[in-house]
Structure 1
Amino acid sequence: MADDDRDDDRKPDTDAMPAGAAEKEQRGKLTVFLGAAPGVGKTYAMLTRAGKLKAEGVDIVVGLVEPHGRSETAALLDGLEVLPRRKVVQGEKVLEEFDLDGALARHPRIVLVDELAHSNPEASRHPKRYQDVEELLAAGIDVWTALNIQHLESLADIVAQITGVTVRERVPDLVLKKADEIVLVDLPPTELIERLKEGKVYLPESISRAVDRFFRLGNLTALRELALRRTADRVDDQMVDYLRQNAIEGPWAAGERLLVCVGPDDLSEKVLRVAARLATGLHAPWLVVSIERADREEETPERLQRIEALFRLAEQLGAETRRVAGTDFVEEILKLARREHATQIVIGARRQRGWMRFFSRSLPDALSRRASGLGVYFVTPEKADKPAMPAAALPAVSIASLRHAALVAAGLVGVTAVAGKLVYQFAELPNISLLFLLAVLGAAVVGGYASAFIAALLSALAYNFLFIDPLHTFTITAPHEVFALVVFVSVAVIAGSFASRIKEQAEVSRVRAAALQSLYDFSRKLATTATGDDAIWLAVSYLQASLKRNVALLVPEKGDLKVAAVWPPDTDLDATDFTAARWTRDKQEPAGFGTGTLPASRFEFRPLMGPHGLVGVCGIEHSDERLDLNAERALTAILDQTAIALDRARLSDESVTQAARLEGERYREALLSSVSHDLHTPLATILSAVRSLRQPAADTTAEERDELLRSIEEEGSRMNRFVSNLLDMTRIESGTLKPKSDWIDVSELIHSAVERARKYYPGKVIETGIAPDLPPIEGDSVLLGQVLFNLLDNAVKYGGEEPVNVYARRDGTDVLISVTDLGKGIAPADIDRIFDKFHRRGKPDGRTQQSTGLGLSIARGFVEAMGGRIHAESPAVKKKGTRIVIRFPIGDRTKAEKAK
């Protein structure tokens, strides 16, 4: 048992298995040649390795390599296939850039793309070269590239500290983390400096400047340590993954998880970089959160833009991002930390001004007091940074808003002072100060907190000047008046603060209620749309009205995208816009303005993902103002609901098509069944009779030969009726049936149809009852005759031995014709189905009648084509039998003759 338990414990960790193994097999592999600084030989090592594989027959090409004038590096290009570069005109310069489309079209097994951190020119598909590499990998092409450690995003601030040089071109840490192989190209700093002085790194005119600024021994040593540490961390990650996947016991890393708090201040960028390095060292996932006040009406564009920039940086560094709304920041942070199982909290901490410590507690200080059981990591600013105001300080106000607040406060206090003075003339009230409290509350409601604060000060001065002895001075002689005035000012400030906060919260609630009502109206209207086109037009109109921006919605069609709706109608999409939209369709990720793919487009395109895949692409034209949080939420909600509506409409169309296909298959099967029964039997009878006539026996009499000829004639007539029924049904369904419009003598037509039926069924009793005053009707006598014969034929087949009755009479403004049999009748569930194509009733003995099932269906088509009505009744007489009733309106023959 012990061995069995040990074996169970040593099973591979399925949670540690590579996610999406099938997808990884199709994806290309990334190899990064990592160095501490330029000149260590990354490109040389990459080309040397490529030459060896080329000699072994591997399909490897050079997409782009920069020798930088180094002859030994350029010599390694001999024998390797080099792809042509893409020429880009930028101003007066012509740049030669990596041709991404050419590499995709060539599709080698391995492609070399140097300088991973390079920034592409404007109008390129991707702003950065590492995004070009990502597209190559997604296409299944292996990529070799080179990178210096100073270009990593999380190390940018440390590199600037060490070298004094700010690196502009950066690569997200996630790119290096996803690399399948990292080849460390190392060179001691002294040898690198010697190479630099020998002119093997830079041109001679740049050597002295490089040695003085960047290529100093201390700088290179520190950068080398960073490169070695980052490579060691990557190797350690790979080893831990291997141990987990193969159930090998070992000292695995502890399960740490970081929660990083950021805001719109300048310190947050440093917080992110420190947290990224901490997460890398701990091998821990990390979540970046920004907390917004739930009682704030809306965020300023500057704050939103700053938060979005921080979130983009965090995602590049490999973090998840999330926004949280609340009033108690500490409680929200701790609640999120418990929900996400965070073990450490990282937050920026600034030094407060001395006098502010007595009035408010900083967020880091409050968090450290309440975060029991969690580690709190404080990131402090540099010494040169000035201490900032705490988060609890008063918000900054503009001069215009301050002027408005002062005018509101002065006006209300002035009116209150005049009113109080008038009241004081008639009665010296001891609590006249309550009037000024009303002024403070009114200022808070109208002008906000600043107005309430100013109103409280002005009210104290006015009350002192007008109502406290000595009057009309600001002197106070009685101590209790001083105390009362202090209490009044305190109460006024507190009451004004509460009133202002209530007003802000009410305004926020009003804005959110309006947004919810708008989304509810959209959902309700969307639920009533019958087609996908209706949902599309409703979505673009609502988006344009909500965002105040041009909107376009495209849907897939025949392997491409079609513009389904734009609003306003004059909105146009150019070639760049369509390219970005196609990228969104293919990759199912945002593209266009503000993204990392084709940012030169005027639109930001987002995929509409339904439950069964992509159903469309929505483009929102960019504007000078960025979308605030409420607009972003409304946009996401509308797009999600539209995607569901389009997917629902698609499924509805598919279900209709599927139902029509199944119905067609049912009809086809019924037709084949009818053909097999109704043609096979008469053909067999005819063929048998013909063989008997061609080879007559000696004892065959003349009567027997006549019987054989009669059977041939009857079966031939039966086949003729069957073919005629098929042709008639084809005419009805194709819409080519054009009935004539003649006056018909119903009595004569009934007698003709009965005589025809008696010839086919000589032993059957058919009785008629026709009213003598039967007026003529307007219609096609040939079609109506066929209808009556079909009804008689149906009645004879299912009526058993009982007679068949045909009646005709006048019923109000109609002529009524009925054909009745006294057979078994029709079940109530089948009464409406007997007019369907290929529907067969059972014989009186319970067996299925061998017929086409087209007779009644053709009768209904002919009758309705002539303007009549037809229906069935069962039971007909004495709880048995079936009656088929036809009604035709009585025409005005005199009026018709006058019209002719």
Structure 2
Amino acid sequence: MRFPSLRPLLAGAATWALCWTLLLVLAPQLELAHLALLMVMGALLAGLWWPPRLALPVAVLAVAAFNWRFVPPQGSLRVERPQDLLLLLTLLGASALVAGLMARQRRLADTAQAHARRSEELRAFAEHLRDGAGPAALLPQLQALARGPVSLRLADGELLGQPTPGAATGLALCMAQAQAFGPGCGHHEDEDAWYLPLRGRQACHGAAHLPLGERPVQFDEADRLQAQALCDQLGLALERAQALASAQAAQEEAASQRLRNTLLAAIAHDHRTPLATILGAATSLRDQAERLDGLQRQRLAERIVSEAEQLARLTDNALQLARLGQPGLALNLDWESVEELVGSVLQRLRERDPQRRIKLHLAPDLPLLRCDAVLLVQLLDNLLDNALRHGGGGTVELHARQRGKQLQLAVRDRGPGVPLGQRERIFEPYQRGEQAQGRGTGVGLALCRAIARAHGGELHYRARGHGGSSFELALPLPEQAAP
């Protein structure tokens, strides 16, 4: 007998030993009927530990021993009085009834424990799936119910495990028909394995193969139902994952479509004015050139150039923002002088700032900066252009200094500033502050922040103490450039 059965065997034996010890000790003081009650108690307690196939024969032997030792004539199995015979028969029936009832209660307790264990397995497996476990998590769950290596086939053709050619064919058929095969399934009962579908609400998402070995004749139906419940849980999880992926893709597509529509609307709206101005000026030059003096033709030509530059600026900002939003972007990095970058920006702004309102405050001995010069010039150009157009017409300051391992650039003005609730919204694409005047798609500041972050830096807004705005850029300095 195996060790796990030894403890209940010894407990039942100890119960009967205690019962007979009491019978022998108390026999002189108690009547025969009272001693019979002790026998019933012994049978009841032994039934708590022993199965019926052991408890019932021992109870019969105990009744025979009781007749031999306590029923007159003692030392014999013969019964003289009818009331003693009735007592023995009642004692035998009570012992058998107690053994049967205790066995039934034990079976009910074992069934309840099995149900609780299976429910816990389903709950734990559901938690694994909720935490992101993949289909491979089902293999150890099914392995405990099978007599051989378990394998899975998913709807996308992926195989988990190493199914035999015959098992692979059965998996494909089970998944195609979304129907269970094998003993107890109602289909292909002569198989030596279970083929269970991974069923969802809408479709079958795969199949599982559980070899049964020698068990097809005496299989456990509860194990099959448990295995099917586990497979269905995985099928539902795969279906939910597909639904979430589809919903996410639909949301991304809708967001992309909205972004495209917004971009097209913004470009169409903001390009209309410069195009109309260019067309009007060019038409005047073509149709009225003979009636216009040299100064008038010069003004029309300058207007065409100015509007064309504005149109190119709007287009460059939109294209650069789209480029920076692409994954795997590689910047054209090189060592650049801050003074040269600022000089390039001022040269580009010269025609837009005839009054020379930009004042420079550059710290001496600024280190070289490793950056994409084209992008950084475009960033400073956007910030300075915004300050010139929205800064109230006053002086615009450009500060540059080194602080620790960072290069800090700031563009400051004394304009109306940005309301508190809009200080982050203005950095979003196609958003413009309520104080903004003139044309623009609302991508300038979004592009500036994207360029800053592409270089590992950050751009943020700070309100100045006595009115005005300060757009402050912090860029990391490489170790070679830091003093």
How many Å apart are 1:496 and its aligned residue?
2.6
Map 1:265-304; keep pairs closer than 5 Å: none
Query: Residues 799 and 823 of structure 1 are in contact (CA less than 8 Å); yes or no, is this contact kept in structure 2?
Result: yes
Aligned to 1:458: 61
2:122 maps to which of 490, 515, 519? 519
How many Å apart are 1:525 and its aligned residue?
1.6
Aligned to 2:235: 643
Give me the whole-angstrom Cα distance separating, in 2, the residues matched to 1:508 and 1:601. Answer: 27
Aligned to 1:737: 330
2:443 maps to which of 842, 851, 854? 854
Structure 2: gaps of 5 or more residues: none
Give me the whole-angstrom Cα distance separating, in 2, the residues matched to 1:484 and 1:597. Answer: 56
Give me the whole-angstrom Cα distance separating, in 2, the residues matched to 1:737 and 1:768. Answer: 31
How many Å apart are 1:857 and its aligned residue?
2.9
Map 1:231-250; keep pairs closer than 5 Å: none
What secondary structure does 1:760 align onto? coil
- 2:431 corresponds to which letter in structure 1? R
- 2:57 corresponds to which letter in structure 1? I
Give me the whole-angstrom Cα distance separating, in 2, the residues matched to 1:841 and 1:662. Answer: 23
Q: Structure 1 length as normaliser, TM-score?
A: 0.46
Aligned to 1:653: 245
Query: Residues 739 and 865 of structure 1 are in contact (CA less than 8 Å); yes or no, is this contact kept in structure 2?
Result: no
Query: Residues 154 and 205 of structure 2 are in contact (CA less than 8 Å); yes or no, is this contact kept in structure 1?
Result: yes
Give me the whole-angstrom Cα distance separating, in 2, the residues matched to 1:481 and 1:594. Answer: 53
Give me the whole-angstrom Cα distance separating, in 1, the residues matched to 2:420 and 2:329. Answer: 34
1:543 aligns with 2:142: yes
Give me the whole-angstrom Cα distance separating, in 1, the residues matched to 2:188 and 2:24. Answer: 74
- CA deviations 1:146-171 (Å, max 9, x no partner) are xxxxxxxxxxxxxxxxxxxxxxxxxx
Query: Residues 678 and 850 of structure 1 are in contact (CA less than 8 Å); yes or no, is this contact kept in structure 2?
Result: yes
Give me the whole-angstrom Cα distance separating, in 2, the residues matched to 1:882 and 1:750. Answer: 20
Query: Residues 337 and 367 of structure 2 are in contact (CA less than 8 Å); yes or no, is this contact kept in structure 1?
Result: no
Aligned to 2:456: 867
- 1:700 corresponds to which letter in structure 2? L
How many Å apart are 1:608 and its aligned residue?
4.9
Query: Residues 191 and 216 of structure 2 are in contact (CA less than 8 Å); yes or no, is this contact kept in structure 1?
Result: no
- CA deviations 1:249-304 (Å, max 9, x no partner) are xxxxxxxxxxxxxxxxxxxxxxxxxxxxxxxxxxxxxxxxxxxxxxxxxxxxxxxx
Query: Residues 580 and 598 of structure 1 are in contact (CA less than 8 Å); yes or no, is this contact kept in structure 2?
Result: no
How many Å apart are 1:607 and its aligned residue?
5.4
- 1:804 corresponds to which letter in structure 2? V
How many Å apart are 1:604 and its aligned residue?
6.4
Aligned to 1:841: 432
The alignment of Structure 1 onto Structure 2 pairs a total of residues equal to 471
What secondary structure does 1:834 align onto? helix
Distance change >3 Å, CA 672–CA 602, structure 1 → 2: farther
Aligned to 1:760: 352
2:154 maps to which of 554, 562, 566? 554
1:887 maps to which of 437, 461, 474? 474
- Coordinate RMSD, CA, aligned: 4.2
How many Å apart are 1:764 and its aligned residue?
7.2
Aligned to 1:710: 302
Map 1:478-517; keep pairs closer than 5 Å: 485-517=88-120
- 1:461 corresponds to which letter in structure 2? A
Give me the whole-angstrom Cα distance separating, in 1, the residues matched to 2:403 and 2:465. Answer: 20
1:580 aligns with 2:173: yes
Give me the whole-angstrom Cα distance separating, in 2, the residues matched to 1:440 and 1:420. Answer: 11
- 1:536 corresponds to which letter in structure 2? P
How many Å apart are 1:507 and its aligned residue?
1.0
Q: Which has the higher contact order (CA 8 A, sep 6+)?
A: 2
- CA deviations 1:675-696 (Å, max 9, x no partner) are 3234443333333333333444
Give me the whole-angstrom Cα distance separating, in 1, the residues matched to 2:395 and 2:332. Answer: 32
- 1:552 corresponds to which letter in structure 2? L
- 1:893 corresponds to which letter in structure 2? Q
Q: Structure 2 length as normaliser, TM-score?
A: 0.79
Distance change >3 Å, CA 894–CA 668, structure 1 → 2: closer
Question: Which stretch of structure 1 is more off in the superposition, 434-443 or 520-529?
Answer: 434-443
1:701 aligns with 2:293: yes
- 1:742 corresponds to which letter in structure 2? W
Query: Residues 63 and 92 of structure 2 are in contact (CA less than 8 Å); yes or no, is this contact kept in structure 1?
Result: yes
What secondary structure does 1:840 align onto? coil
How many Å apart are 1:414 and its aligned residue?
9.0
Distance change >3 Å, CA 580–CA 570, structure 1 → 2: closer
Query: Residues 452 and 459 of structure 2 are in contact (CA less than 8 Å); yes or no, is this contact kept in structure 1?
Result: yes
Query: Residues 392 and 414 of structure 2 are in contact (CA less than 8 Å); yes or no, is this contact kept in structure 1?
Result: yes
What secondary structure does 1:446 align onto? coil
Distance change >3 Å, CA 625–CA 779, structure 1 → 2: same
Give me the whole-angstrom Cα distance separating, in 2, the residues matched to 1:449 and 1:592. Answer: 34
- CA deviations 1:302-358 (Å, max 9, x no partner) are xxxxxxxxxxxxxxxxxxxxxxxxxxxxxxxxxxxxxxxxxxxxxxxxxxxxxxxxx
Query: Residues 198 and 208 of structure 2 are in contact (CA less than 8 Å); yes or no, is this contact kept in structure 1?
Result: no
Structure 1: gaps of 5 or more residues: 1-399, 556-561
- 2:47 corresponds to which letter in structure 1? A
- 1:840 corresponds to which letter in structure 2? Q
Give me the whole-angstrom Cα distance separating, in 2, the residues matched to 1:776 and 1:428. Answer: 113
- 2:283 corresponds to which letter in structure 1? R
What secondary structure does 2:203 align onto? strand
Aligned to 1:447: 50
Question: Which stretch of structure 1 is more off in the superposition, 590-599 or 693-702?
Answer: 590-599
Aligned to 1:692: 284
Distance change >3 Å, CA 547–CA 657, structure 1 → 2: same
How many Å apart are 1:423 and its aligned residue?
8.6
Query: Residues 799 and 844 of structure 1 are in contact (CA less than 8 Å); yes or no, is this contact kept in structure 2?
Result: no
Give me the whole-angstrom Cα distance separating, in 1, the residues matched to 2:131 and 2:376. Answer: 44
